[in-house]
Each structure stands twice: as C-alpha cells, then as structure tokens.
Amino acid sequence: MNAEHRRLRTRVAVIGAGPAGLMLSHLLSLSGIDSVVIDLRERADIETTVRAGILEQGTVDLMTGTGVGERALSEGQCHGGIGIRSRGETRRIDLSGLTGRSVHLYPQHEVLKDLIAARLAAGGDLRFGVSGVSVHDVTTDTPSVRFTDADGTRVELSCAVVAGCDGSRGVSRSAVPESVRTDYFRAYEHGWFGILTEAPPSSDELVYTHSERGFALISSRTPSVQRMYFQCDPAEDAQAWSDDRIWTELRTRVNGNGFELREGPIIQRGVIPMRSRVLAPMGHGRLLLAGDAAHVVPPTGAKGLNLAVADAAVLCQALERFFHRGSADLLAAYGRTAADRAWRAQHFSWWMTSMLHTAADGDPFGLRRQLAEIDQVTGSRAGRTFLAEAYTGWPIPVTDPASAIADVITASASRTP
C-alpha cells in the first residue's frame, strides 16, 4: 500500500450515496454491521437533484418498518389508483382494490434526505465530495476501496465486502471484468421531456396518456408544484422550447372531454434518455452491485428507485448471514435473486413503454395494435390486475427468515385487497 494513504477499516465499503447505497447502509446498521459510504457528489447535490417520485408499497413498508418512513407517510401522498388515458378517456386502474397495495408519491431526493439524516443520527460514516475512487482485490477476502477525501487526504478503506451502488456511470460496474460480464442493453428511440411547473394538480392520481402525438404523463410533487413529462426525441434541446410550446404539446396530447391541464410557470425542464440495461453477473468476488450500477430501467414503470431499495434489502440479508453466521451462501446467490426481480421490472418498464409510446414514423399498424392492447389491459380485470401487481411492486424476497428485516418484508407481502 502507498505510505501516503490513511488506513481505515470497515465491514462493508459502500460506493455511492444514492437509494441503494444509503438504504443498504441504513439496513446494515440496524443489524449492527458497520459500513462507510462514499460519494463523488456533494450532499447538497444529492438532496436536491430531482428524480422520480413513486414509491412501491414494499418500499414504503420497508422505510416505515425500519424507522425512516415518517416523512414519506406524513408529507407524501398515498395513491390507490392510476389513470390510463387514450382517445380522450381516462380509465382507472384501482391499484388498492385489485391488490391491497398502493403507491406513494414522495420524491426520491426526499427519500435520500431521510436516509442521510438517519445515518448521521446513528453516527454513520458518510463521506461526500470524494474523488479518485478505485476498487482493489475483490477476488480476495481483503478487498479495499481507495479514494481522496473531500479534504484531500488519500484513504485506503479495507473491508470484507464492497457494495457497488454508484450508478450506471460509476467505477463499480467496470470493476466486473469484461471477460466475465454480459451487458444486456437496449436504447429506446424516445426520450422524456420533463418539467416542473408551479400550478395546482390537474388530477388526484397519475395519468399515463397514449395519444397519436405520443405519450404524456401527469404526475405531481406538492399541492403547488406539478411534474409532467411527454415523449420526445432523446436529442431534443429542452432549453430551446418556450413555455408556450411545451404547454401546447402537453395540451394536444392530454386535454379533451372535460379534462384540462392546470398550467403555470415552468420552473425546471430537462430531457431524460430511456434505456434498459442489466449487467450479469451482478458482482465479482467480494464486489456486489446494487441499483443502477447493476440495472437501468426506462422511467415508464417508475421502477428505478424501488429496484435499488429491493436490491439493498436482499443484499442486507446476505450480509447479515455472512457476518453473523459465517455463511457466504446468500452472498453467492445474491446476484441471481436480485436479477430475477430486476428482469421482471425490466419487462414491465419495456411493456408500459411499448404500449404507450408512439413510433417516430407514425406506424399506423403499431398505433392500432396499441389501442387494442390498452383496451384489453384496461377492459378486463385480469389485465388491470397484471398492471396493478407490477405497478405496486412484487414482494421483496425473504432469503433469510432470521434477518432483522424479514418480518417487515413478510408483513408487507401479506397485504390483501
């Protein structure tokens, strides 16, 4: 080791203070397993960057059951249904009536604020604004992570396990050698043009809209700030659009038959690319990947954050077994267990995307096929139930019944209509 490094030791080195990394560190601390979390970004960036906003039932239950769900419950909004709108008509999917489960509208950066606050209150070691992160010796029992702390000190963090939670562009995923990894990837021809507007809600529940001009989604943030998206070319320059042009586009896709968007000043805008990606295996030796480092979904199914949280819960159980009972069996199985759930989410997000987004060339056959599909899905109880089960989220796997979080997950999974 380089003599200039300050040496630190922990059991789990967590790279990335996003939903996967922070949730993992939080869950581990409840089981008495210490971790150090590092992130290239500053805390203020993490706590203010606007991302998605839908929490599955299992995510909410895991947060509340482990002491970090208070604000999600009091400040978030519980939604028992969503609307699928096409040809000027909104058809409601009764999520809670069909599944006993609902979703919560509570922005991702608020979840991150809650997790950071909980970790700091518990004396957790979180390091923001680090640089020069590298991962070493993951095929040995003594891996390490090296980085430069915000104050310029070089650090060598020795650990037993590295959790790679640093997203799709982080160093962790590239620490899985190309010779052993398969990158399943799909880029979509669409992007999402997302806005925040200062306006009252246009609808009590989210509205996913199919129109000949393309998809639009009406979501919300607070009673006075709304989140909306519409399908666009991924190369679109959001800054080149006037407010007027944006509202005209949204109105054309969504308004009609008595439904009218409530408009206001647009306070933020941006274009989001749509991609599907799954990395296999989800780790290498003592490096385990979680969240976007392992898989990316298009935003249509609102699955990204929820998948990250489910990964953290599955990985936490594997690590509890490893540290408390000396068995590495669940660590070895982690990638498969997490990937099974990730592929379901991958399918659901792809399916919602393909049902609701129109092809750039208009494709009259495709358009009619989509209308038939929307009719079938919304017009039958089986179709609505399929959508509702996927949207509210599949149960998080209980792999170790002795885990500190097993009861919370089991109680969540046993909800019935």
Exactly one of 86, 300, 346, 399 binds ligand PHB (CB under 6 A); that residue is: 300
Task: Say if residues 18 and 112 touch (Cβ distance below 8 Å).
Answer: yes
Q: Which stretch binds ligand PHB (CB under 6 A): 46-54, 70-78, 180-188, 317-325?
A: 46-54
Pick between residue 66 and residue 102 the one whose CB is nearest to ligand PHB. Answer: 102
Site for ligand PHB contains 367 (CB under 6 A): no
Is 299 part of the annotated catalytic residue set? Answer: yes
- Is residue 302 close enough to count as binding ligand PHB by CB under 6 A? yes
Which helix H or strand E contains 68, and what residues bound it? Answer: none
Q: Contact 413/59 with Cβ under 8 angstroms?
A: no
| Size of the residue set binding ligand PHB (CB under 6 A) | 10
Nearest by Cα to 328 from 285, 279, 282: 285
Does the footprint of ligand PHB cover residue 219 (CB under 6 A)?
yes
Please, which residues bridge with residue 9 across strands?
158
Among residues 143, 170, 299, 335, the one that binds ligand PHB under rule CB under 6 A: 299
User: Which one from 210, 229, 299, 357 is the annotated catalytic residue?
Assistant: 299
Contacts of 123 (CB under 8 A, 6+ apart): none
Q: Is 8 in the site for ligand PHB (CB under 6 A)?
A: no
Query: Binding marks (x or -) toward ligand PHB, 174..213, rule CB under 6 A?
Result: --------------------------------x-------
Judge whether 187 and 275 are in contact, CB under 8 Å: yes
Nearer to ligand PHB, 206 or 404 (CB): 206
**In this structure, what is the dihedral angle of CA atoms 308, 311, 313, 319, given to the nearest 10 degrees?**
-130
- In degrees, to the nearest 5, what angle opens at C-alpha 228 toward C-alphas 225 and 231? 165
Binding span for ligand PHB by CB under 6 A among 91-99, 295-303, 364-372, 395-403: 295-303
In the complex, what is the shortest distance from the CB of residue 262 to ligand PHB, in angstroms, rounded to a whole number? 16
Query: Closer to ligand PHB at the Cβ: 208 or 323?
Result: 208
How many Å apart are CA 173 and CA 180, to the nearest integer?
12
257 is written with which tokens? 């038959």
* Cα 39–chain centre separation: 17
Q: Which is nearer to ligand PHB, 29 or 197 (CB)?
A: 197
Q: Print burial letters for 235-249: b (CB count within 10 Å at least 16), e (below 16).
A: eeebeebeeeebbeb
Least separation in angstroms between residue 393's CB and ligand PHB is 13
* Residue 273 designated active-site: no
| Residue 52 near ligand PHB by CB under 6 A | yes
**Residue in 12, 22, 46, 54 binding ligand PHB, rule: CB under 6 A:** 54
Stretch that binds ligand PHB, among 11-19, 49-57, 367-375, 377-385 (CB under 6 A): 49-57
The yes-or-no answer on residue 143 being catalytic is no
φ and ψ at 21, to 5 degrees? -65, -45
- β-bridge partners, 230: 193, 216
Pick from 127, 227, 277, 295: which binds ligand PHB (CB under 6 A)? 227
User: Which one, of 307, 305, 234, 239, lies nearest residue 275 by Cα?
Assistant: 234
Report the relative pairing of strands 216-222 and 207-210 from DSSP bridges.
Answer: antiparallel
Annotated catalytic, 208?
A: yes
Whether 184 sits among the annotated catalytic residues: the reply is: no
Name residues whose C-beta falls within 8 Å of residue 355's C-beta, 6 or more positions apart in sequence.
Answer: 210, 370, 373, 374, 377
Report the interface residues with ligand PHB, using CB under 6 A: 52-54, 206, 217, 219, 227, 299-300, 302
Active site members: 79, 208, 299, 303, 391
